[in-house]
Amino acid sequence: MSILDERRTELEQHEFMMGVERGRLAVALDLLTDSLILVGQHGVYCTSARNPNKPALDLQAVLGGMEGAKTLIQSVMEELRQRREVERAEGAAKP
């Protein structure tokens, strides 16, 4: 089963509220956030041998990559929002 089937209800809700592109990105952000929480919880038990106050190095890399992906998705969502606002303003300005 694909993610589109698994998250159909959530996708439909977000796509309705935000449009297809931003809605799907919002669901992707939710999935990343859930995954970050799970990896973070795992990091409590898999600590670094050098520094027991930090997760193992491989988990640090995974967390960093996921945080980076979230940042990129958020920036795309913001770009899409700004573009939509500009298009609406231009459409309202036309007679």
pLDDT digits (tens, 9 = 90+) for 28-51: 999 999 999 998 888 888 887 888
19-55 burial string, b = 16+ CB within 10 Å, else e?
A: eeebbbbbbbbeeeeeebeebeeebeeeeeeeeeeeb
Mean pLDDT of all residues in 46-65: 85
| pLDDT (average), residues 49-76 | 89
Per-residue model confidence (pLDDT) at position 83? 92
